[in-house]
Amino acid sequence: MSERIEGVKKLFTSKSTRVETNRGESYYADLFEKCQARLKELRENGPINRLDFSEVLSENGVDRRDFMKWVSATTAMLMLPPMFSPLVAEAAELMNRAPVIWLELQDCAGNSEALLRSDGPKIDEIVLDIISLEFHETLQAASGFQAEKQLDDAIETFKGKYLLFVEGSIPMGMNGQFGTIGAGAETFYDHLMRVSKDAAAVIAVGSCATFGGVPAASPNPTGAVGVMDVVKGKPIINIPACPANPANMVGVVLHYVLTGQVPELDSLLRPKFAFGYRIHDNCERRAHFDAGEYVEEWGDEGAKNNFCLYKMGCKGPMTFNNCSIVRYNEAVNWPIGVGRGCIGCSEPDFWDKYAYERPMADAKIKAPTGGVEKSVDEFGLGLLTAAGIGIGIHAVASAVAGKKEDGGEA
C-alpha cells in the first residue's frame, strides 16, 4: 500500500506526459547554439579510443548517402527540426568521446545481443560500436582480478563523466546472494551501487533493468527489482523493451553527446521521443482494428490478410513504444509485421499483466480473492451467479411467506 501511495505522490509531482513535438523557433535556435558549443568542446577534448567513425562506416560498406539518410531519420526520431541534421551527424562522429561502462546483471544478455547484431551491423549498431566501451563484462577479454582492475581504472579515469548502461535486474532476495560477480563475489546490488556512484547518468536498458522484467515476474523468487528502485540521486533513463531497440539506445547517447543532458522523460523515466506514443497509434494494421477485422486463430483467412491481432492478445493499444515506426534491425520488421501480437514488453510487469497472448478479458489473472487464477469475466459471472442465487432464495422465501401472511389477513 505504501508503495502505491508513493506512486500517487510521484505522479502528481512529475511532469505531464504530454509529448511536445514543436517547442517554437526561439527554443530550437537557442538549443542549436548550445549543441554547437558542446560539440566544439567535445572535439577539442579528443577521442578516447582510436576508432574513426568514417573508417568504421566504410569498412562495413555504408556509404555517406546511407549515413545521411540515417541522420535524417534519427533527427526526426529525436523530435528535432531538420536544421539539427548536421549536428546529429557530427555527434555521431564524436560518439567515441563518450565513455561508457556496461554492467550485466540478472538477465539473458539479449540487450548486448541487440547492441552487437553480429550479423551485418547496421548504422545504429555501428554507432554503438564506436562509443568508448570502457568495460563490458560479457564482451571484454579480461576476466577475474584483471577485469576488476580495468573497471576500477575506468571509474577513476572518467569519474563523473561516464555513462553507465545497466542490463538486467537486481536480485534483492537473500541479501542479494542470488547474483554475485567478479573474483570478490560482490553481489549485483553492491556492484551496481559502487559503479553508479560516480556515473554522469545511469541508463537502464531492457525490461529487466528498468522494471525487473521477466526475473521479477510472479512469484519473483529472487526479489528482482529495476535500477530505478535502488539507485537514487542520479539521473536515470529507462529504455525498456525486450530487447531494447538499439535505435533508442543510440538516440539517448546521441542526445547526451549533442546536448550534454538527458532527454525529456515520462513518469516512468522513459524518453518521450521513443515512448511518448502507443504502438497502436502508428500500427500498420490499425485500420483493421477500427473495422473490426481480427485474426480469430493462427493461420486463418484473417491472418493471411494481415488483420488486426487484438483478439490474439495484441497489447499494442496499451503499450508505449516506437517500434511501429522505427521497427527493429534498421526498420526491417517488428512483431506485428511478422503476424504476431505485441506482448507489451516496454511496460512495467509486462510478463504478468501483458504477455498472456489473449485479450485482457480472457486472461487468467489472480482474482481479488487470491488463490485460483480466473479471468475477469469468470470472476464477474461467479459473483453475479452468487448474487442471483441470493436474490432467488429471497424471492422464493418472500413468495411462500408472503402468501401465508395474506392468508392470515383474509
Residues in contact with other proteins by CB under 8 A are: 3-8, 10-12, 16-21, 267, 276-278, 280-281, 287-294, 296, 301-302, 305, 310-311, 315, 317-318, 320, 344, 347-349, 353-354, 359-362, 365, 368, 376-377, 379-381, 383-384, 387-388, 391, 394-395, 397-398, 401-402, 405
Q: Are strands 132-136 and 186-187 parallel, antiparallel or unpaired?
A: unpaired
Nearest distance in Å: CB 391, other proteins: 5
Whether the CB-CB separation of 290 and 114 falls below 8 Å is answered with no
DSSP string, 58-113: HHTT--HHHHHHHHHHHHHHTT--GGGHHHHHHHHHGGGGSEEEEEE-BS-SHHHH
Q: Which is nearer to other proteins, 32 or 379 (CB)?
A: 379
Q: Which is nearer to other proteins, 219 or 292 (CB)?
A: 292
Those residues whose C-beta lies under 8 Å from the C-beta of residue 326, and which sit 6 or more positions away, are: 73, 77, 245, 247, 248, 274
Those residues whose C-beta lies under 8 Å from the C-beta of residue 267, and which sit 6 or more positions away, are: 10, 11, 14, 15, 17
Does residue 219 have a cis peptide bond before it, meaning omega lies within 30 degrees of 0? Answer: yes
Whether the CB-CB separation of 207 and 215 falls below 8 Å is answered with no
Q: Which is nearer to other proteins, 18 or 159 (CB)?
A: 18
Q: Which is nearer to other proteins, 141 or 400 (CB)?
A: 400
Longest dimension (CA), the chain: 107
Q: Which is nearer to other proteins, 63 or 296 (CB)?
A: 296
SS (H, E, C) 179-243: CEECCCCEEHHHHHHHHHCCCCEEEEEHHHHHHCCHHHCCCCCCCEECHHHHCCCCCEEEECCCC
Q: Which is nearer to other proteins, 5 or 332 (CB)?
A: 5
Q: Which is nearer to other proteins, 246 or 341 (CB)?
A: 341
Those residues whose C-beta lies under 8 Å from the C-beta of residue 113, and which sit 6 or more positions away, are: 243
Nearest distance in Å: CB 131, other proteins: 30
Q: Which is nearer to other proteins, 317 or 339 (CB)?
A: 317
Nearest distance in Å: CB 161, other proteins: 34
In the sheet with 132-136, reading across from the earlier edge strand, the strands are 132-136, 99-104, 163-167, 201-205, 236-239
Q: Which is nearer to other proteins, 28 or 379 (CB)?
A: 379
Nearest distance in Å: CB 378, other proteins: 10
Nearest distance in Å: CB 27, other proteins: 16
Q: Which is nearer to other proteins, 332 or 400 (CB)?
A: 400
CA-based nearest residue to 313, from 296, 327, 332: 296
HSE toward the beta carbon, residue 182, CA cutoff 13 A: 21
Nearest distance in Å: CB 20, other proteins: 7
Nearest distance in Å: CB 239, other proteins: 18
Nearest distance in Å: CB 320, other proteins: 8
Amino acid making up residue 339: G
Residue tagged 464477474 (cell numbers):
380
Whether the CB-CB separation of 281 and 290 falls below 8 Å is answered with no
Nearest distance in Å: CB 109, other proteins: 26
Q: Which is nearer to other proteins, 99 or 341 (CB)?
A: 341
Main-chain phi, psi angles of 375, to 5 degrees: -80, 160
Q: Which residues of 295-326 are buried (b: 16+ CB within 10 A; e: fewer)?
A: beeeeeebbeeebbbbbbbbbbbbbbbbbbbb
Those residues whose C-beta lies under 8 Å from the C-beta of residue 398, and which sit 6 or more positions away, are: none
Nearest distance in Å: CB 71, other proteins: 25
Nearest distance in Å: CB 281, other proteins: 7
